[in-house]
Amino acid sequence: MPSRKTRLYKSIDWPTVICYLLLLIVGVLNIYSADYNPDVVSKGLNRADSQLIWIGISVSLSFVILAIDHRMYHFFSYFIYGALILLLIATIFLSASVKGSHSWLYIGGIRLFQPAEFAKFATALAVARLMSSFDFELKKTRCLVQVLVIMLLPVFIIILQRETGSALVFFSLFLVLYREGMSGIVMLLGLLFVLLFVLVLRFSPFQMAGELGSWGLFSALMLVVLIGIIVLIINGWRKLIFRYVLSSLAIIFLLVFVLNKWTSLDIKYTNVALAISVLSGLCCLLYGFLRQHRIMVIVALFLWGMSAYCYSVNYIFDNVLEYHQQTRIKVLLGLEDDPTGVGYNINQSKIAIGSGGFVGKGFLEGTQTKLEYVPEQVTDFIFCNIGEEFGFLGSVFVLLLYMYFLFRLVKLAERQESPFNRIYGYSVVSIFLFHILVNVGMVVGLMPVIGIPLPFVSYGGSSLLAFTILLFIFIKLDASRS
Amino acid sequence: MKIDKYKNRKVVVLSIIVVIILTFIIRLFYLQVITDKYKGFADDNAFLERTIYPSRGLIFDRNGELLVYNEPSYDVMMVMREVKGLDTLALCDILHITKEAFEKRIKDIKNKRLNPGYSSYTPQVLISQLSVEEYGELQEKLFKFPGLYIQPRTLRGYTYQNAANVLGYINEVPKRVVEENDYYKAGDYIGISGIEKQYEELLRGEKGHEILLRNARGRIVGKYADGAYDVKAKTGSDLHLTIDMTLQRYGEFLMQNKLGGIVAIEPTTGEILAAVSAPSYTPSMMVGRKRSENYPILNKDPNRPLLDRCLKGRYAPGSTFKTANALIFLQEKIIHPNTQFGCNMGYHAGKFKLGCHSHRSPLDLSESVQHSCNAYYCHAFRGLLDAPKYGHISTAFEVWKNHVVSLGFGYRLGVDMPSEDRGYIPNSKVYDKVYGKNRWKSLMLVSLSIGQGEVTATPIQIANLAATIANKGYWYTPHFLKSAESADTIFSFEKHIVGIEEQYFDPIIKGMEMAVNATDGGTARVARIDSIVVCGKTGTAQNPHGEDHSIFMAFAPKENPRIAIAVLVENAGFGATWAAPIASLMIEKYLKGEIAPERKFLETRIAEKVIMPKKK
């Protein structure tokens, strides 16, 4: 049916496909360069060759995906999701340990692929299917629970596979929930959790003069109180705040300061901050109940909850996170300097990028990404090679290419009439965005070391194939929109 | 169709994207354009600073004979990336290692913890220090092993397989030293014992470096700035030792199949002419890879070949110590040279008896030295301890002890060696502790007078006593270094004046002369040399672990002495039996250059004698 083919050809969103192809080229060039060693005439496949093979497979697969009727994706979404979940579970038992992780599926001793990579598009399909169903309403608890189960089930299994990096990707789907109506406060709270975590950890080694508590905890607690105040101001309690609250805070701190200075008392400022937070929370709660002000009760709960969280950050860090995760975070926060140990990757990565300068050293002329200074340089740290050989200009080009690509996908998602298509589209955006955020963030030293690939650029068959499927299902859905 | 109420939230999503990308761009701008911090690091990576190793200083003996030199050696280097289809079995066969050892080595090389500088593009040491034969064999077949290279280095070579205890050896620098000392990098060589350790800083010279440029492939493309920033290596300083290698080798020849030590000192300078420790090992046993095989064997050997008995063997000095005591008695005016004491086959005091051998009685001081009379020294020593002028026995004992110390006992002499034993001289507190304050009497200490009991000394301390007597009142710190060929170092060794007047030495010297030369019976007649007047004193050190040790201490010639010597042969019985003839042969060898024909039988008899502890 030539007519259908032409229709498909015309209805495909070419800018997206071109971005995809460009990123593939960027990837294969940099893999070739990072792996390049003219002194060795190798008879076997080098990694650029095998990446080219995977590109061939991926592109062929994209044709298959485009050829399948778009309704199939909607129809089979739960089935695909279920199958992937079973595969994920099976992988735990069928896989051998690669650097402590059990994420590769082995059958008969042959390494096949990482099911976790494919769980991403499967989960996206399932989330889209559920959220687009007729009676789905995010505000209903039952619906919220359902969608959270779909999102977090793979996270749980992948953590069991000890692939924490891949597991975190699924949290990016909260962005989809936000787009579909989840309160923005959830996002802000998430951000606040991260911020408080960093504050407490980063500044807890810094003691206030006279050993009166750590700056980390103090600043975190005061930030919580400040947010409470701002919330109250926004909700029309300006008078109360400016007349009484701020002045009483000033008086309290002055009093504590004077007592510490001129008496033998040593009142810890962290305890003062905690007392302020808890007591003002109590005031808000009582006032809120007596005068029927809901916002007051919320502020009270916020103050208490966040204060408790601040106090438990160190405990969480020491007891929930594993040792290598702790050190990665410490290195990122500059609490540990270990250029040959854990900090090695990140330091070498920064050196490689920094040495690229404005225009870079030129293709194949990089020195840092050769000689194995940067480990994992073709997989997770491929962006180093871009930074070193193509400089600031090249890196910005790639970043802008990604930005354009994501913008395009948002645009595509927004033009869908079917909620299924739209939600799936936003899932694609969220997953890609998360990968870029974490991968590039890690390479430039703004994120802790979390080993997840840069979409379409990093070396690796599983991830390339999975990203291709993820993207092309959406391109197909878009091409077939009514 | 549901109504999409949240369409405007796309703006938030887009803003998040923009914020993230923008943050990254700013960060990249900082890393790549603003800061130079990381470019400097990159230089470190792309420039290769290669160390130029100076050749280690050579070591000569006192006559300018070359003892230690540098010898080429070969390390097998491996560039992992270039290794293709390695025939492990054939390689292991050539290198004489097991397949397991080879695989473990490869694993260790790749281990980032053990080998932080690992890169599969750069040469890594696979096996160090090939023997010449292995090198030859590998060189022939090297084409079969792509990725393998041979890196020349230098090792120590020895002209003579002697004086191992003096020369010491070098080996790869221990990890602890690398951490403490910036000069050394893992894999460097450092003196581990002997002269090599003592004069490490002179011998090693100063490392230099050249700065090379590497291209993107890690290949060296040339010198940076035509070598403008290169630093030349400073060759190690050559050392001339005080050792007379001919004498040293002769001593080792005489001491073969025996345990013990010989120390010969030039009295007027303190220069050590020979320091023989037996049994010993050959210096080349400690070179290169052989060391790791030999060291454990030597270390476990019950005869302790690694122990330098000259400097670290503790022995009771026995009767040689009587000369020291005699000097002290004279100086403290307890006796005068004509004082006589009787001896009835020993010293008797109540139930106490300390035996002596048969000789005429009574004897004066010189005769007591000649006959090594025990009773004489018991009488005189008690006379000193109980002398009323000191008021208390512990005061008297301290006076005695201080004299002994000034004669070089009880403390390290300060020999230029990494380690030396101090021997042992008790002080009065020791006896306070053992017997209780005011509870000890002179009789209890009487064995100190004949060099037994608590007192111990090293052979070099005994030789030093001989030198002090030869000098009539002073000694120079015994030492091994004669000169170093670096202009800015002058080595001087301290002169120690002992607190005993010169006149008091004459009767002792006379006694020592008679011990060797007197016709009416001396203890050391066997040491007599017709053409040289040898002065000597025998000693027999009681040994709680077995047969007595045979000791002899001597100097010669009597006028203007040129050599002072101490010989100790473990488990060899009377001093006269073995130690005295050895000392006499050494003296003759040194002063005459050869052994008189009529004394050749003595040489043969000694060299052939085996005095080794019975194997259990």
A146-194 pLDDT, tens digit per residue, is 999 999 999 999 988 878 888 999 999 999 999 998 888 888 999 999 8
The C-alpha atoms of residue B407 and residue B462 are separated, in whole angstroms, by 10
Give the mean model confidence (pLDDT) for residues A250-274. Answer: 86
Name the residue facing B6 among A180, A399, A437 (closest C-beta): A180
- Other CB atoms within a 10 A radius of the CB of residue A381 amount to 27
Measured between beta carbons, the chain B residues lying within 8 angstroms of A178 are 9, 12-13
Q: Which residues of A touch B21 (CB under 8 A)?
A: 399-400, 402-403
Q: What is the CATH number of domain B50-239?
A: 3.90.1310.10
**Is 90 exceeded by the pLDDT of residue B115?**
no
The pLDDT confidence band at residue B311, using thresholds 50, 70 and 90, is very high
Q: Evaluate if residue B72 carries a pLDDT over 50.
A: yes
Residues contacting B293, CB < 8 A, separation 6+: none
Cβ pair A37:B81 closer than 8 A:
yes
Q: Give the residue from chain A lying closest to B146, CA to CA.
A: A40
Residues in chain A: 482
**pLDDT above 70: percentage of residues in chain A:** 88
pLDDT at position B458: 95
| CA contacts within 13 A on the Cβ side of B254 | 31
Token pair, residue A207, equals: 């003691």
Domain ranges in chain A?
2-182+396-479, 206-328
Phi and psi, residue B19, nearest 5°: -60, -45
Among B7, B10, B14, B17, pick the best mutation site for testing chain A contact (most A Cβ within 10 A).
B17
Q: Which residues of A touch B83 (CB under 8 A)?
A: none
Q: What is the pLDDT of residues A395-425, one digit of tens each?
A: 999 999 999 999 999 999 999 989 999 999 9
Asked if B257 has any chain A CB less than 8 Å from its own CB, the reply is no
Read off the pLDDT band of A43 (50, 70, 90): very low
Query: How far is the CA of B118 from the CAs of A179, A475, B100, in angstroms?
Result: 49, 46, 21
Q: What percent of chain B has pLDDT over 70?
A: 91
pLDDT tops 90 at residue B219: no
Q: What does the block give as tokens for B227?
A: 């070598």
pLDDT at residue number A108: 59
Question: Which residues of A are less than 8 Å from B6 in CB distance?
Answer: 179-181
Q: Tell me the C-alpha distance between B92 and B74, whole Å.
A: 16
Q: Kindly tell me if the per-residue pLDDT of A100 is higher than 90.
A: no
Write down the residue that tokens 């292995």 correspond to.
Answer: B134
Residue B415 pLDDT > 70: yes
Q: What is the mean pLDDT of residues A344-373?
A: 75
Q: What is the mean pLDDT of residues A446-474?
A: 92
Q: How far apart (Å, rounded) are the C-alpha atoms in residues B478 and B271?
A: 6
Average confidence (pLDDT) over A76-103: 82
Average pLDDT over residues A445-457: 89
pLDDT more than 90, % of chain A: 41
Question: Which residues are CB-contacts of B6 (< 8 A; sequence separation ≥ 6)?
Answer: A179, A180, A181
Does residue B208 carry a pLDDT above 70?
yes
The answer to whether B216 contacts A406, with C-beta atoms less than 8 Å apart, is no
- Main-chain phi, psi angles of B563, to 5 degrees: -145, 135
Residue B73: the pLDDT is 78
Side-chain-side CA neighbours of residue B567 (13 Å): 32
pLDDT: which is higher, B322 or A36: B322
**Nearest-CA residue of chain A relative to B14?**
A407
For residue A47, the Cα-to-chain-centroid distance in whole angstroms is 27
pLDDT value at B462 more than 60: yes
Rounded to an integer, the average pLDDT of B435-454 is 89
Of B9, B24, B215, Cβ closest to residue A440: B24
Mutation target for A interface from B6, B11, B21, B23: give the one with most A CBs within 10 A: B21
pLDDT, position A210: 66
Give the residue from chain A lying closest to B18, CA to CA: A403
B21 interfaces chain A, CB cutoff of 8 Å = yes
On average, the pLDDT of chain A sits at 85
Average pLDDT, chain B: 86
Collect all residues of chain B within an 8 Å Cβ-Cβ radius of residue A410.
10, 13-14, 17
Put simply, the answer to whether A367 touches B25 (Cβ < 8 Å) is no
From B21, B121, B219, residue closest to A372, measured CB to CB: B121
Q: Do B32 and A391 touch (CB under 8 A)?
A: yes
What's residue B614's pLDDT? 64
What pLDDT, on the 0 to 100 scale, is given for residue A474?
96
Answer yes or no: do A426 and B13 touch at CB < 8 A.
yes
**Nearest CA distance, B55 vs chain A (angstrom):** 31
Out of B6, B24, B216, whose CB is closest to A399? Answer: B24
Count of A–B CB contacts within 8 Å? 136
Interchain CB contact of B34 with A (< 8 Å): no
Mutation to test the B interface, candidates A367, A389, A436, most B Cβ within 10 Å: A367
List the 121-160 stretch of B: residues with Cβ below 8 A of A. 121-122
Query: Of the given ranges (B39-43, B452-456, B519-523), which has the lowest mean pLDDT?
Result: B39-43
How far, in Å, CA of B244 to CA of B76, rounded? 38
pLDDT, tens digit, 9 for 90 and up, residues A135-148:
888 888 899 999 99
Sequence-ordered list of residues with C-beta below 8 angstroms from that of A268, at least 6 positions apart, any chain = A212, A213
**Average pLDDT of span A9-30:** 93
Contacts of B2 in chain A (CB under 8 A): 419
- Mean local confidence (pLDDT), A445-463: 89
- What's the pLDDT at A482? 62
Contact A392 B28 (CB under 8 A): yes
| Residue B101 φ/ψ, nearest 5 degrees | -60, -40
Judge whether B37 is closer than 8 Å to chain A, CB to CB.
yes
pLDDT: which is higher, B84 or A458: A458
Residue B183: pLDDT band (50, 70, 90) is confident
Q: Is the pLDDT of residue B2 over 90?
A: no
Rounded mean pLDDT, A306-328: 84
Rounded CA separation A389/A329 (Å)? 28
Two tokens at B130?
Answer: 């090939």
Best A348, A371, A373, A402 member to test B by mutation, with max B CBs in 10 Å, is: A371
Predicted local distance difference test score (pLDDT) of residue B571: 87
Confidence of residue B616 (pLDDT cuts 50, 70, 90): very low
Contact check, Cβ <8 Å, B42/A367 = yes
Q: Which of these ranges, A258-272, B195-209, B323-337, has the smallest mean pLDDT?
A: A258-272
| B1: confidence class by pLDDT, cuts 50, 70, 90 | very low
Q: Summarize the confidence of residues B541-549 as an average pLDDT.
A: 81
The total of other beta-carbon atoms located within 10 Å of residue B391's CB is 9
Give the residue on B whose Cα is nearest the Cα of A172: B13
The span from the CA of A481 to the CA of A477, in Å, is 6
Terminal-residue alpha carbon distance, chain A = 20
Q: What is the pLDDT of residues B365-385, one digit of tens each?
A: 999 999 889 999 999 999 999
Distance CA A367, CA B546 (A): 71
pLDDT for residue A374 is more than 60 = no
Who has greater pLDDT, A365 or B605? Answer: B605
Q: Helix %, strand %, coil % for chain B, to 5? A: 40, 20, 40
Alpha helix ranges (H) inside B413-535: 428-435, 459-471, 505-517
Looking at beta carbons, which residues of chain B come within 8 Å of A358? 32-33
Say what the pLDDT of residue A1 is: 45
